[in-house]
Amino acid sequence: MDKSSILIGTLLFALFMFPIFYIIIFQKTKEAGIRKKLNKVASSNNLKLDKFETFGHLSLALDSTSKKLLVYDSFTSVEIRIIDLRKVSNIQLSKILHPGRSKKERIIHLGLQIVDFSSSDITEIIFYDEDDYESTDAEIRLNDARKWDALLKQNLVT
């Protein structure tokens, strides 16, 4: 092969791969910053996080020993919410569907509703909202919401 064609090929490869590597590194750095922030809040509240997950705008962390859930939503003004699962009476997956022309209905809003024992206040953790959040596939978020619904129900004190 000609040296110039190798150079052009390498340059084109680097030109196309740089944005992909940049996005991956940026996302990992952002996730590490959120994890650090959640760990700082956890240590100041004497919590030990044993489950952590990030879904785009939403980060959840769970301390299954002390039954506390930490919620960080980058789109809300509330910094980090701590939900005591010992004070929760019910957790319910909520979906708002939009009937479509086909047989399958489209999810336009998906969240976990957490009902408090004492005041019947409902706290909602939004996994997907068609209008407000990034356009990730709703079915992927539905699987994530179901997984966290099951995990939190296991940690409810009955």
CA distance 69 to 52: 10
Segment 110-143, tens digit of pLDDT: 888 888 877 777 888 888 887 775 656 778 888 9
Domain residues for the domain of 68 are 3-154
- Which H or E element spans position 32? helix 3-44
CA distance 8 to 66: 58
**Count of domains forming the chain:** 1
Q: What ranges make up the beta strands (E) of the chain?
A: 51-55, 58-63, 68-73, 81-84, 88-98, 106-116, 122-129
Contacts of 108 (CB under 8 A, 6+ apart): 96, 97, 98, 129, 130, 131, 138
The CA angle 118-122-126, to the nearest 5 degrees, is 150
In which band, very low, low, confident or very high, does the pLDDT at 158 lie, cut at 50, 70 and 90? low
Contacts of 62 (CB under 8 A, 6+ apart): 49, 50, 51, 52, 68, 69, 70, 151, 152, 155
Pairing of strands 81-84, 106-116: unpaired
Segment 14-38, tens digit of pLDDT: 999 999 999 999 989 988 888 898 8
Segment 49-81, tens digit of pLDDT: 889 988 878 889 999 888 899 998 877 666 888
